[in-house]
C-alpha cells in the first residue's frame, strides 16, 4: 500500500488505482526497452569500430622506412653494405666500403640490418649493377651481434629465392675463440644456399692477429673483382670526402645540448626503464675495494646499486659499462690543436637520406665528444691516417702517413711497427708529428665511437637482487715509445669512490644476457675453471648454489679450479671461498699459485692431477663444465687437458676425445666465457 500511495502522489489527481498499476508497468517496459536499446547501440558501435582500428594505425609509413630497396632507388645507390657490429669495427669497415664505391662510378650506403626488412634482398636485382656486402662480426661463442640477431633468425627460417642477388662477405672474428668467424661463414654459406651469387670470396679477419691488415688485403682484391663483374673502372685515386658538415652553435639553449647521454637527451636526469645500450641506467657505486694484498697490479671489487631500476639479471650475465676518457688526455687535444673544447657544435650528415644524422649525439661540445663519445686511446686505423695526411705541412710526415695507409707491403709493415706494436693512439701521433694539425671537427668525424666494456657479473640475483658486482683488474703498461698507456674503463672504475665528497659516484650501465648458465637441476655437478678475474661469474654461481642449499634443495658437487700468481698477493675472494668451502657449498677448492715455486703451476695442471674424479663427474654424473678467462692460452690449455682425460678414461683416440668434448659443448655442458 505504501508503494501504491507513493505512486499515486506523482499521478494526476483524476487517475484511478488501476490506471496507477498500468502506469508502473509502462514505466518498467519503457525502462527495459530503453536499457536494451542502449546496450545494443553501444555494443553495435563497438563492433563497428573494431574493423576501423587498423585504418587509424597507418602501417604504410614504417614499411616504407624499413625498405632499403626503396631508399636505394630514391637516392641512386646500387651498393648496400650491411654490418653486424658489437664494438663498432664492422660498422666502421662498412662505412669505408660504402665510401669506396664512388671511385668506381658506383654509389654505396652502409646499413644496420636491425633497421631494415632483409627479406627485400630478393628485390635487389631491380637495381642496375646492384651488390650487397656483409661485414659480419662474431660475438661470444659463435653468436651474431645484437643488431644482426633478427637477420640471423631470418636466414635460418627463410626459404626465399635470392637467385638475383649478388653478394660478398667479410667476417670479423678472433682465432683464439672456438667458433672463429662463425657468423661470417654462416652468412656466406646460407646466402649461396638460397641461390645468391657470390662475386668475391669470403674474407676472414682475425682480431688476434692484425684485423686492419686482413681487411685491407681483402678490400684491395674485392674491388677489382667488382669492376670485372660489372665492367666498370676506377675513376681516380682514393680521395678524402667529408661525410659530415660542421655547425658551430654560438647562441644555443644549453638544455638542448648533450652532455654524455647515449640516446635520449636528458636521459641521465630523468631515468626511465627499460634500460639498454641506448638508455643505460646510472647505478650508484656502493662499494669499491682493492682485492689483492700486494703486487704491482690493482684488482678490485665494485658493487653497483640497481634498486628501483627494474633491471633483472641472472648468474652468468654480463654488465656493460660506459666509461669516460681521462680528462688530462682530453685537455691535451685542446692544447695541441689550439681549440676551445667547450665550443658547442653539431656534425650533420651531408646525406640527408641517411638514418645516421650524426656520428654521435649532437649538439654537444668537443670536450663532451672526446670524453664520452670517441675512442681516443686505441691505435687509429689506416683510413684515419689517410684522411689526416692532407693536414700535415711537413712533406716527410705526410708521406709517412700516406705510406702507412697504403696497401703496399712496406706500408703495412710500417703501420704494424709504428702504430700497432708501438701502441700509438691519435694523441701520440699528433705529438710525434708536429706538423700534423687537423681541424678538430674532422678528427671527431674520423675517430670511432667509444664502446661499452663488458664484465662478467660476480654476484647472484638470488642473493643480491638490488646489486651487481664487478671484479676487474686495472690495465696499465708502458709502450715502446716510453709512454704510459692506461685502460679506459678499468682506470675510470678504479676512481669511482663511493660517496666522494658527499656525492654519489655513478656508472652508466645495462645488463646483457648470456648463455653462461647454471644447470637447470641444482643436483647436477658443476666444474668451474676461472683463474684471475675469470673467477667473477663463479662467485655468482657459488652464491646461488649456497642459496639453493639454504632453500633445502639437493645441490650437486660444486668444484672450483682457481689460479693466481702468488698466494699472499692476488688470491681473490680468499675469505669468501674459504667460508663456502667450510659450509660445504664448495665441495672442492683447487688453487694454483703459478709463481710461488720455481716451476709454474696453472689450473690445467691441477685438472690433470684430479683427472679420475673429473671423468667420473663428467661421464657418470653428467657434470657441466664452465671455463672463464683468457682465451688465447688458458682456455685452450684447459680444453687440451679435457681431451687427455677423455682419451685416457674413455678409452678413445685423440679425434674421438675431441669429438666427445665438442658434443659436450653442443649440449651446453661445456661453456666458455672468455676474452683475448
163, three cell numbers: 637467385
Give the residue numbers annotated as catalytic, written as ranges.
456, 628, 673, 675
Burial (CB < 10 A; 0-12, 13-18, 19+), residue 170, is buried
| 487 marked as part of a ligand binding site | yes
Q: Which residues of 569-582 are buried (b: 16+ CB within 10 A; e: fewer)?
A: bbbbbbeebeebbe
Residue 150 labelled as part of a binding site: no
Instruction: Determine whether the annotation assigns residue 85 to a binding site.
Output: yes
Q: Nearest CA to 121 among 156, 69, 79, 169?
A: 69
Tell whether 66 is in a known binding site. Answer: no
Contact 625, 664 (CB under 8 A): yes
454 is in an annotated binding site: yes
Whether residue 88 is annotated as binding a ligand: the answer is: yes
Is 533 labelled a binding residue? yes
Determine if residue 456 is labeled as part of a ligand binding site: yes
179 is annotated as contributing to ligand binding = yes
Q: Would the annotation count 281 as a binding residue? A: no
C-alpha cell at 565: 700468481
Q: Establish whether 603 is an annotated binding residue.
A: yes
Q: Is 207 annotated as a binding residue?
A: yes
Q: Is 351 annotated as a binding residue?
A: no
Does 477 carry a binding-site annotation? Answer: yes
What distances in angstroms separate CA 629 from CA 320, 467, 528, 608, 673, one per listed residue?
Answer: 17, 23, 11, 19, 7
The answer to whether the annotation marks 177 as part of a ligand binding site is yes
The Cα angle at residue 43 between residues 40 and 48, in degrees rounded to 5 = 120
CA pair distance 69, 77, nearest whole angstrom: 9
Q: Is 594 annotated as a binding residue?
A: yes
The 3-state DSSP class for residue 14 equals coil
- State yes or no: 604 annotated in a binding site: yes
Q: State the number of CA atoms in the 13 A half-sphere of 346 facing the CB.
A: 16
Nine-digit cell at 483?
709512454
Task: Round to whole Å and give the CA distance between 4 and 9.
Answer: 9
**Is 675 known to sit in a ligand binding site?**
yes
Q: How crowded is residue 674: how many other Cβ atoms within 10 Å of its Cβ?
A: 21
Residue 455 annotated as binding site: yes
User: Which residues in 525-541 are b (16+ Cβ under 10 Å) and which e?
Assistant: bbbbbbbbbbbbbbbbb
166 is known to lie in a ligand binding site: no
State in Å, rounded, how far the first CA of the chain is from the last one.
96
**521 marked among binding-site residues:** no
Instruction: Flag whether 637 is marked binding.
Output: yes
The answer to whether 112 and 151 have CB atoms below 8 angstroms apart is: no
Q: Report the DSSP pairing between strands 281-290 and 299-305.
A: antiparallel
137 is in an annotated binding site: yes
Beta-bridge partner residues of 449: 374
Is residue 238 a known part of a binding site?
no
Rounded Cα–Cα distance for residues 272 and 54 (Å)? 29
What's the distance, CA 389 to chain centroid?
Answer: 32
3-class secondary-structure state, position 472: strand
The CA distance from 393 to 577, in Å, is 61
Q: Is 667 annotated as a binding residue?
A: no
Query: Prior bond to 240 cis, omega within 30?
Result: no
Whether 101 has a binding-site annotation, put simply, is no
Q: How does strand 670-675 pair with strand 624-630?
A: parallel
Say whether 595 counts as a known binding-site residue.
Answer: yes
The 3-state secondary structure of 551-618 reads CCCCCCCEEEEEEECCCCCCCCCHHHHHHHHHCCCCCEEEEEECCCCCCCCCHHHHHHHCHHHHHHHH
Task: Give the residue numbers of the binding site for NADP(+).
Answer: 297, 533, 594-595, 600-604, 637
Task: Give the residue numbers of the binding site for FMN.
Answer: 85-90, 137-140, 172-181, 207
Task: Give the residue numbers of the binding site for FAD.
Answer: 423, 453-456, 471-473, 477, 487-490, 675
Task: Give the residue numbers of the binding site.
Answer: 85-90, 137-140, 172-181, 207, 297, 423, 453-456, 471-473, 477, 487-490, 533, 594-595, 600-604, 637, 675
Amino acid at each position: 500500500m505504501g508503494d501504491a500511495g507513493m505512486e499515486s502522489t506523482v499521478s494526476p489527481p483524476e487517475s484511478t488505482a488501476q490506471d496507477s498499476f498500468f502506469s508502473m508497468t509502462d514505466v518498467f517496459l519503457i525502462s527495459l526497452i530503453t536499457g536494451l536499446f542502449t546496450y545494443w547501440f553501444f555494443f553495435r558501435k563497438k563492433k563497428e569500430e573494431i574493423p576501423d582500428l587498423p585504418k587509424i594505425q597507418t602501417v604504410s609509413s614504417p614499411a616504407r622506412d624499413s625498405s632499403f630497396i626503396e631508399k636505394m632507388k630514391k637516392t641512386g645507390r646500387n651498393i648496400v653494405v650491411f654490418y653486424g657490429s658489437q664494438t663498432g669495427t664492422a660498422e666502421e669497415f662498412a662505412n669505408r666500403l660504402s665510401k669506396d664505391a664512388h671511385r668506381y662510378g658506383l654509389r654505396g650506403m652502409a646499413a644496420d640490418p636491425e633497421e631494415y626488412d632483409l627479406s627485400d634482398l630478393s628485390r635487389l636485382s631491380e637495381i642496375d649493377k646492384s651488390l650487397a656486402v656483409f661485414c659480419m662480426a662474431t660475438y661470444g661463442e659463435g653468436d651474431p651481434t645484437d643488431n644482426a640477431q633478427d637477420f640471423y633468425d631470418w636466414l635460418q627460417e627463410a626459404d626465399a629465392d635470392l637467385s638475383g642477388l649478388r653478394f660478398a662477405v667479410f667476417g670479423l672474428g678472433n682465432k683464439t675463440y672456438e667458433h672463429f668467424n662463425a657468423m661470417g661463414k654462416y652468412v656466406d654459406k646460407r646466402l649461396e644456399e638460397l641461390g645468391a651469387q657470390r662475386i668475391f670470396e669470403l674474407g676472414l679477419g682475425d682480431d688476434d692477429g692484425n684485423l686492419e691488415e686482413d681487411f685491407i688485403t681483402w678490400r684491395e682484391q674485392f674491388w677489382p673483382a667488382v669492376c670485372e663483374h660489372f665492367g666498370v673502372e676506377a675513376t681516380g685515386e682514393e680521395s678524402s670526402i667529408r661525410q659530415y658538415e660542421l655547425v658551430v652553435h654560438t647562441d644555443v639553449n644549453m638544455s638542448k645540448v648533450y652532455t654524455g647521454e647515449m640516446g635520449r637527451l636528458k636521459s641521465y636526469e630523468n631515468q626511465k626503464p627499460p634500460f639498454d645500450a641506448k638508455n643505460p641506467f646510472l647505478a650508484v657505486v656502493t662499494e669499491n675495494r682493492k682485492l689483492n694484498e700486494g703486487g704491482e697490479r690493482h684488482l678490485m671489487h665494485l658493487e653497483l646499486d640497481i634498486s628501483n631500476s627494474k633491471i633483472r639479471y641472472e648468474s652468468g650475465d654480463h654488465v656493460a659499462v660506459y666509461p669516460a676518457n681521462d680528462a688530462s688526455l682530453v685537455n691535451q687535444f685542446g692544447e695541441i690543436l689550439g681549440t676551445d673544447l667547450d665550443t658547442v657544435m653539431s656534425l650533420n650528415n651531408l646525406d640527408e637520406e641517411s638514418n645516421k644524422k650524426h656520428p654521435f649525439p649532437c649538439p654537444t661540445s668537443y670536450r663532451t665528444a672526446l670524453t664520452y663519445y670517441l675512442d681516443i686511446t686505441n691505435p687509429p686505423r689506416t683510413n684515419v691516417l689517410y684522411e689526416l695526411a692532407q693536414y700535415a705541412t711537413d712533406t716527410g710526415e705526410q708521406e709517412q702517413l700516406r705510406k702507412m695507409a697504403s696497401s703496399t707491403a712496406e706500408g703495412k709493415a710500417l703501420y704494424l711497427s709504428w702504430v700497432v706494436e708501438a701502441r700509438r693512439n691519435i694523441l701520440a701521433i699528433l705529438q710525434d708529428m708536429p706538423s700534423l694539425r687537423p681541424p678538430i671537427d674532422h678528427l671527431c668525424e674520423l675517430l670511432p665511437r667509444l664502446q661499452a666494456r663488458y664484465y662478467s657479473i660476480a654476484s647472484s640475483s638470488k642473493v643480491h637482487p638490488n646489486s651487481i658486482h664487478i671484479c676487474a683488474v686495472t690495465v696499465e703498461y708502458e709502450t715502446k715509445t716510453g709512454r704510459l698507456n692506461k685502460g679506459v674503463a678499468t682506470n675510470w672504475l678504479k676512481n669511482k669512490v663511493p660517496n666522494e665528497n658527499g656525492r654519489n659516484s655513478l656508472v652508466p650501465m645495462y645488463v646483457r644476457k648470456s648463455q653462461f648458465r647454471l644447470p637447470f637441476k641444482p643436483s647436477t655437478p658443476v666444474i668451474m675453471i676461472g683463474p684471475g678475474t675469470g673467477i667473477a661469474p663463479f662467485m655468482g654461481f657459488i652464491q646461488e648454489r649456497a642459496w639453493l642449499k639454504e632453500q633445502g634443495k639437493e645441490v650437486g658437487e660444486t668444484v672450483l679450479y682457481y689460479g693466481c700468481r702468488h698466494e699472499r698477493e692476488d688470491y681473490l675472494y680468499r675469505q669468501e671461498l674459504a667460508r663456502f668451502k667450510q659450509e660445504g657449498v664448495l665441495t672442492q677448492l683447487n688453487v694454483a699459485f703459478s709463481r710461488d715455486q720455481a716451476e709454474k703451476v696453472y689450473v690445467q695442471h691441477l685438472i690433470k692431477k684430479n683427472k679420475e674424479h673429473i671423468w667420473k663427474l663428467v661421464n657418470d654424473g653428467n657434470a657441466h663444465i664452465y671455463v672463464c678467462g683468457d682465451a688465447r692460452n688458458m682456455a685452450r690449455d684447459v680444453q687440451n687437458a679435457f681431451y687427455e682425460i677423455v682419451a685416457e678414461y674413455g678409452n678413445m683416440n685423440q679425434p674421438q676425445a675431441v669429438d666427445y668434448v665438442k658434443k659436450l659443448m653442443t649440449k651446453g655442458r661445456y661453456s666458455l666465457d672468455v676474452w683475448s
